[in-house]
Structure 1
């Protein structure tokens, strides 16, 4: 049992979802839900980006952009 929800309740919820969305949409809904959960887990377990690293990355991009603009002229 998940928080007081038993098998009969889950079956009723499944039938209601099936009626509302139809059998064709259920795989799309499941895939979208799975991707969302995966992205959430990834975002919560990743190491936060430090401001110093972010500033260095911006400086490197700006340097590359200025070099490429010099080569064009």
Structure 2
């Protein structure tokens, strides 16, 4: 489980939802070089429930620096 609260799924890119890019800094994540934050279930107000699969960078300090550029 993530230490930080995940952003709302609607505020993320498809690449972040699928675990291809870091949930925090949007950096592309090669296989095996990230931390899996667990399968997340979304139950929207309308429509069917679905799953998303956030991951984050292993180097959290570098990730935080990159994330600051998106704010």
TM over 0.5: no
Structure with max Cα Rg: 1
TM range (shorter): under 0.3
When you count helix as a share of all residues, which structure comes out higher?
A: 1
> Greater RCO between the two (CA within 8 Å, min separation 6)?
2
When you count strand as a share of all residues, which structure comes out higher?
A: 2
Return the TM-score normalized by structure 1: 0.23
